[in-house]
Amino acid sequence: MAAAAPRGALGTTFGTTLVATAVDTAGVLPIYLVGAMAVQLQAAIQLEIESLGVVFAAYFAAAALLSAPVGRLTDRIDPAAFLWTGCVICLIAILGMSLIHSVGALVLLAVVSGIATAFTRTTSSMLVVRGIPPQRQGLALGVRNCAIPTAALLSGLAVPAVALTIGWRWAFVIAAGLASGVFVVLPWSVPRPNQPAAAATQPDMRTGSLAGLAVAGALASTAAVSLGAYTALTAVEAGMSEGAAGILIAAGSLVGVSSRIGVGWWTDRRPGSQLDVVIGMMLIGAIGYGLISFQVEPLLWAAVPAAYATGWAFYGSYYLSVIRLNPAATGAAVGKAQSGAFAGSIVGPIALGTLASRATFSTAWLAAMLAAAAAAVTITVVELSVRKTADSR
């Protein structure tokens, strides 16, 4: 593996975290650029609110269907192949989006992008598990999970800097150029940790508890995906200019990045599964969604960053909990939990988009608040079950 270290920088904690974050950012960049460009796409290809929900749902459906199979395979074979394949597919998707002239084409390319994300997101988790000591995985996952707000940050900045100057199509072209830089750091191989060759195929957690985590991830993601899909449209309807809406997304993303890193650093210094941290972040996120529902411009500048920092930043601690509770078959457990998160991201865009279209954006954000609160309650039930199981052993 010594020869592969310079390519992927997998010989150090910093290098492994860098690769995982870069890969994950590239994988999610296409869909969040679509969300940020929603206003421009409305004018260019007649992308309606409900259609935008279908685009996001198609993306997450493809990711959900493949996440668990990819997770199982990364427990058995070298994950590097998945990294390369995912990044190539991502580049194809984002370049294709720069050429679209119809909603149908956008939906198709969203599916392609979702396939790429199933490869990049699941495998980047395995990079962290295999390449970073357990006592540093919280920070590494926190940084890795900055991929989504980083993609949203770049997408938000692209609105005033590119879309409103030289055109939205160029935003996708430039994004493709940025994504192609990931190939420079991809490893040729990802070493297997020092453990017996025959890895376990079943997660350590009871099936019901792991299913509960997946359900909670689905509920929380139903709410969180709203930030990527509907923040720009909500802000413009509240009276903001298109450029200001882009800056709002960028500001929220920046706060979200800081939160994920800070919480990751903190969880490395705490014992236990960290499910309590996940619960707290989901509850605060629910409050943020509720505040967004008022659609008052000054309040949005506080509520959107708050939601980004908690309701959309819980993923690092969420996956850390899955990893800590399932050391024997981490890939399989992460894949199942991630399938739940993606499943919620399928339902969210369609359900909330329908509410926004047929009722109001305020109604949609209130529904997001209820979903996040329900996720926190579900995680609480799972945590109690995990403690009871541990006490009985």
Structural domains of the chain sorted by starting position, each given as residue range(s) with its CATH number in brackets: 8-187+198-392 (1.20.1250.20)
CB–CB of 143/261 below 8 Å? yes
CB–CB of 120/23 below 8 Å? yes
How many angstroms separate the CA atoms of 320 and 239, rounded?
Answer: 39
Residue linked to tokens 């994920």: 260
Q: What's phi and psi for 310, nearest 5 deg? A: -130, -65
Biggest alpha carbon–alpha carbon distance for the chain: 64
How many angstroms separate the CA atoms of 241 and 160, rounded?
Answer: 10
Interacting residues of 244 by C-beta distance below 8 A, sequence separation 6+ = 235
One-letter amino acid at 177 equals G
How many angstroms separate the CA atoms of 132 and 234, rounded?
Answer: 40
CA distances (Å), origin 333, targets 200, 259, 277: 11, 25, 19
Structural tokens at position 150: 């980083």
The beta strands (E) that lie in the chain are given as: none
Would you give per-residue pLDDT tens digits along the chain (393 residues)? 333 333 445 557 788 888 888 888 888 889 889 988 888 998 889 888 888 888 988 998 898 888 778 877 876 777 788 889 899 999 999 999 999 999 999 999 999 999 999 888 878 877 887 778 888 888 888 888 787 777 878 888 888 888 889 989 999 999 899 889 888 888 887 766 554 444 445 567 778 888 899 999 999 999 988 787 788 889 999 999 988 988 898 888 889 889 989 998 999 888 888 899 999 999 999 999 999 999 999 999 999 999 999 998 898 899 889 888 887 777 778 778 877 887 887 888 788 888 988 889 999 999 999 999 999 999 999 999 888 876 666
